Structures are given as structure tokens and as C-alpha cells.
Chain A
Amino acid sequence: QKEVEQDPGPLSVPEGAIVSLNCTYSNSAFQYFMWYRQYSRKGPELLMYTYSSGNKEDGRFTAQVDKSSKYISLFIRDSQPSDSATYLCAMSRGNQAGTALIFGKGTTLSVSS
């Protein structure tokens, strides 16, 4: 079993839809959970960051972590065509730079107007 599993999609939704992106993981030592967004031919950029369990909201984006189920989610409300990108979940055991981030394979999202 891979450490981090993420459905690659693609996921296609109409503008205004609510999008749910998910990752599961197997390593219970993970404490830091991130979502990165990657536009075509660009580097990933940090979108959301959560420590341990719970929810975090930032504008139209909500990140949820359920450590008991080893499951993390990113919700996008009122999706826009500009949200079309690949979304990568990432997690790590610590936040020191010597602790490598483990990335999921990414879910490609397309929002049509």
C-alpha cells in the first residue's frame, strides 16, 4: 500500500459546483497536511496547510483532516474556471526541513464555464 493515495481523476465540474478532493494515507505518524495547487507548466503552490486533525477555512477553500480515518479532504465552494488545475495533497511527520513531504499523485480538476 502506498503511503499516500489520491484519485488522479480527471474531475470535470460546471462553474459554481462544490468540489471535493480527497486523499488517504497509511502512516499514522503524519502530523502536517497540505494541499498544493499546480497549474499546467508551473510549479506547485501551497494552498492550504493544517496541523493535526480539524478543519481550516480560507475563502472558498476548506481543508479537513480526520486522523482517525487517515483521510484528508479539500472542498472548493463556488468553483471557478480559474480553479482548473492539478491538486496535490502532501503530508509529513514534522515541519523541520529535514522531514520530507510525501505527495499524492494529484487530482486534475477542470471547471467549465
Chain B
Amino acid sequence: DTAVSQTPKYLVTQMGNDKSIKCEQNLGHDTMYWYKQDSKKFLKIMFSYNNKELIINETVPNRFSPKSPDKAHLNLHINSLELGDSAVYFCASSLVRAGEKLFFGSGTQLSVL
């Protein structure tokens, strides 16, 4: 039973395309996150949703739009992909009062050509 699962695991696409990454958690958590890890392993938060409400929105280009249909799902849609978007994107979840204890998915490796 995978606790936090994200699909696809790998995504290779051309510049200018639009793509989506999906995430689901079965831990009963009420808060979900998107993190970006660059080629130097630096992990930085992008967004966080608590019960479908956006609570963290870091400085991220408008081309990135998260969507949370319910508290167990958080998707990330990226428009007009650029070379610099190539990275590993991690979904994570936690309880709202334990935001330091994140449970991560295994990541989506995005390569923009």
C-alpha cells in the first residue's frame, strides 16, 4: 500500500507543451504539498493545500497551477513548459498540526527538451 503516490514517475516533453502530475495520499492527512528538487538536490516548497484551501503559495511562475479536488488529491498542471522546469517534483502530505512531519511520494522526474 503506497502512502503517497504520484504519477507519472517520468515525464519527458518538449518546450511549450502543457503537462500534469497527479498525487494521491491514503494516510488520512488533511494537508498536501508540492516540492521541487533541482539538479543540485535543493528541495523547495511550491504550494500547500489544507482541506482543499491554498495555504502556501511560494514565488512560482503563473504557469504552475495546483488543483486539489479533495483532501486526498493534489494535482499540478504546468503550462508552456520551459527548459528550466526540468527537475524532480515531489508531492507530500501531513496533518495540519504536524507540518514538520512530511510524507513524500517517490517523485516525478520531469525533463523538458
Over the window 74-112 of chain B, the binary record of Cβ atoms lying under 8 Å from chain A Cβ atoms (1 yes, 0 no) is 000000000000000010101111111111111100000
Over the window 78-113 of chain A, the binary record of Cβ atoms lying under 8 Å from chain B Cβ atoms (1 yes, 0 no) is 000000001010101011111111010110100000
Stretch binding the partner chain, chosen from B11-19, B43-51, B62-70 = B43-51
- Please tell me if the beta carbons of B42 and A96 are within 8 angstroms of each other in the complex: no
Q: With the chains together, A99 CA to B45 CA distance in Å?
A: 10
Q: With the chains together, A100 CA to B45 CA distance in Å?
A: 7
Query: A34 — which chain B residues lie within 8 A by C-beta?
Result: 100-101
B58 CB, nearest partner CB in chain A, Å: 7
Chain A residue with minimal CB distance to B56? A100
B108 CB, nearest partner CB in chain A, Å: 10
Query: A43 — which chain B residues lie within 8 A by C-beta?
Result: 4, 90, 92, 104-107
Query: A103 — which chain B residues lie within 8 A by C-beta?
Result: 42-44
Over the window 29-65 of chain B, the binary record of Cβ atoms lying under 8 Å from chain A Cβ atoms (1 yes, 0 no) is 0110000000011111100101000011010000000
- Please tell me if the beta carbons of B50 and A101 are within 8 angstroms of each other in the complex: no
Query: A49 — which chain B residues lie within 8 A by C-beta?
Result: 100-101
- Please tell me if the beta carbons of B106 and A42 are within 8 angstroms of each other in the complex: yes
B90 CB, nearest partner CB in chain A, Å: 5
Query: B90 — which chain A residues lie within 8 A by C-beta?
Result: 43-44
- Our pick among B4, B48, B58, B104 for the contact of A97 (Cβ within 8 Å) is B48
A–B complex contacts, Cβ < 8 Å, 18 sampled: A34-B101, A41-B106, A41-B107, A42-B107, A43-B104, A43-B105, A44-B102, A94-B99, A95-B100, A96-B96, A97-B48, A97-B55, A98-B55, A98-B56, A98-B99, A100-B56, A101-B100, A106-B41
